[in-house]
């Protein structure tokens, strides 16, 4: 049997051992789960960031694409992972939206995760096939009302902010828009660029090459202000629709709930350091991103605000996932 003194000694040693392990972090490869398909809006951000962080940390940051259920499959993996910093999530603000639209979500997007760093803005843009005879968002709304069957539009998935944007456009303008969901933005491009579907609400990084090639027309960014990287694309208000402003779409890193503060601080610091390097900044700009890092100390309270915002908007739009 252990004596009382031995028991206390063991108890005192446990926190010391835990702190020692945290100071050695990372001691092995880190799995960075991307809950969307390769080549999509989140993946295009995660890969250059992971490459640079691997160099800084001296351990590989390995991308694992776990697409499905509008990001919930990958998020569930991270929520159930040990809170040791070796399984992280790279996702968008839709992380706080999708569970609100699901009958039985397997996790709470706030309580079951540790916010680490809100890394960058990922502008979302309304685009149309070049053959569609519209020049701005107001003209698109007008055309949809003249089309008995409505105009189909694609997004990266049901329950994403892109989907909510389409529903809010329809709600505020009475546009006749019909949502067609794909598992990722890259998969939606095949039909959109081919003209089989004429409208898309997708990440700028996904559609930018096709805008530049003249195959798609950009009508508006969904944020409250123009993209600093691509300022030629107007906002909703500048496109002819007043009073409709969607919140900024952002991308960031989270871990499981209970992630130790030293681990959070290390990842936060290294991620923000990585975004200052020419390689990552160049990759982000080329993909249509704007690095606007928000540290963990601010990301935590902001997460709750984002979640409350989505609660209000989904109620207004009466948006549900079938």
**CB atoms near residue 99 (< 10 Å):** 24
Residue that the structure tokens 């694409």 belong to: 65
The Cα 268–Cα 246 span in angstroms is 27
In this structure, what are the phi and psi dihedrals at residue 27, rounded to the nearest 5 degrees? Answer: -100, 0
- Tens of pLDDT, residue by residue over 198-241, are 999 988 877 888 999 999 999 999 877 887 777 889 998 888 77
Separation CA 93–CA 304 (nearest Å):
11
Lowest mean pLDDT among 6-20, 27-41, 71-85: 6-20
Percent of the chain scoring above 70 in pLDDT: 90
Question: Which segment of 14-18, 92-96, 128-132, 255-259 scores lowest on mean pLDDT?
Answer: 14-18
| pLDDT attached to residue 69 | 84
- Mean pLDDT on 256-279: 95
pLDDT at 285: 76
What pTM was estimated for this model as a whole?
0.77
> Reading across the β-sheet that carries 151-155, which strands appear in turn?
177-181, 151-155, 199-203, 124-129, 216-221
Q: What is the mean pLDDT of the chain?
A: 87
> For residue 181, is pLDDT > 60?
yes
pLDDT higher at 251 or 228: 251
> Other CB atoms closer than 10 Å to residue 15's CB: what's the count?
9
pLDDT at 121: 82
User: What are 90-131's pLDDT values in tens digits?
Assistant: 998 889 998 998 888 999 999 999 999 998 887 889 999 999
How many Å is the maximal CA-CA distance in the chain?
84
DSSP per-residue letters across 33-71: EESS-TTSHHHHHHHHHHHHHHHHHTS-EEEEE---GGG
Whole-number pLDDT of residue 183? 65
Helix (H) or strand (E) holding 92: strand 87-92
Rounded Cα distance, 223 and 290, in Å = 12
Q: Determine phi and psi for 317, rounding to 5 degrees.
A: -85, -10
pLDDT at 242: 78
Instruction: Give burial (CB, 10 Å; 0-12/13-18/19+) of 239.
Output: buried
Domains of the chain with bracketed CATH: 4-122+249-317 (3.40.190.150), 124-239 (3.40.190.10)
């Amino acid at each position: 049997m252990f004596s009382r003194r031995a028991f206390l000694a063991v108890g005192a040693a446990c926190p010391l051992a835990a702190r020692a392990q945290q100071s050695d972090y990372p001691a092995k490869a880190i799995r960075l789960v991307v809950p969307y398909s390769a080549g999509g809006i989140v993946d295009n951000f995660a890969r250059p960031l992971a490459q640079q962080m691997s160099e800084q940390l001296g351990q590989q940051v390995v991308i694992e694409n776990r697409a499905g259920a509008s990001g919930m499959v990958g998020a569930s993996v991270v929520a159930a992972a040990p809170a040791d910093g070796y399984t992280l999530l790279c996702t968008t603000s839709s992380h706080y939206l999708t569970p609100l639209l699901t009958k039985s979500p397997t996790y709470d997007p706030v309580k079951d995760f540790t916010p680490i760093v809100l890394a960058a803005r990922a502008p979302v843009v309304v685009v149309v096939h070049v053959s569609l005879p519209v020049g701005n968002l107001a003209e698109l709304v007008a055309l949809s009302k003249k089309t008995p069957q409505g105009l189909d539009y694609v997004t990266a998935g049901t329950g994403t902010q892109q989907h909510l944007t389409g529903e809010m456009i329809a709600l505020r303008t009475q546009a006749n828009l019909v949502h067609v969901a794909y598992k990722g933005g890259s998969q939606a491009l095949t039909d959109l660029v081919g003209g089989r579907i004429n409208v898309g609400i997708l990440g700028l990084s996904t559609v930018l090459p096709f805008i530049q090639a003249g195959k798609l027309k950009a009508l508006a960014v969904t944020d409250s202000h123009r993209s600093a990287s691509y300022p030629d694309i107007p906002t909703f208000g500048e496109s002819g629709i007043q009073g409709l402003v969607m919140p900024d779409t952002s991308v960031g890193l989270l871990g499981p709930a209970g992630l130790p503060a030293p681990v959070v601080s290390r990842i936060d610091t290294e991620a923000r350091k990585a975004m200052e390097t020419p390689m990552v900044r160049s990759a982000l700009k080329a993909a249509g991103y704007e690095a606007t890092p928000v540290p963990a100390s601010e990301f935590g309270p902001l997460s709750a605000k984002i979640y409350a915002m989505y609660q209000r908007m989904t109620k207004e739009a009466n948006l549900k996932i079938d």
